[in-house]
Amino acid sequence: MKKNNKEATTFIILAGIVILCVFAVVVAINIIPNNESDSYYVKVEDEMAAKIESLEIKDNKLKITMSGDAVSYCVKSTRSTPSENAICWKDVENNMATISIYQYKKYYVWVKDTNGNISIPMSINTKE
């Protein structure tokens, strides 16, 4: 009877070690970045051809000044980076944009260049 107990315990320990090894490999594969083009992820500031120069609030309007090859901009009240096809993207004219905003909120602004790259966000707080 003791021999069967030892065999069962050994089997359970070995099975646990195998499961942990498989789990570790899956985690490592998902953590290590790869060079494949993956539409599920947004490439943030990957050799950006445009950038946000300044954010200014005046008369409940947010004025955004950009430089480079800015094609569109996105303004949100959450910090999560918008996808390339998100509905928040608006066209840029002459590297400038102005939008109406609400007081007492924090806004995050992204810019997208001609290659579809998305900048890191700049934020502005309207609690003044």
What CATH number is associated with residue 90?
Answer: 2.60.40.10
Residue 45 within any structural domain of the chain: no
pTM for the predicted model, two decimal places: 0.63
Per-residue pLDDT of the chain (128 residues; tens, 9 = 90+): 566 788 888 899 999 999 999 988 888 777 776 544 443 444 554 577 888 999 998 888 999 999 888 999 999 999 999 998 899 999 999 999 999 998 888 999 999 988 888 998 999 988 75
Q: What is the pLDDT of residue 38?
A: 41
Q: What is the pLDDT of residue 91?
A: 93
Residues 101 and 94: beta-carbon distance below 8 Å: no
How far from the centroid of its chain's Cα atoms is residue 115's Cα?
Answer: 17
Domain total in the chain:
2
Residue 77 within any structural domain of the chain: yes
Same domain, 102 and 71: yes
Same domain, 70 and 111: yes
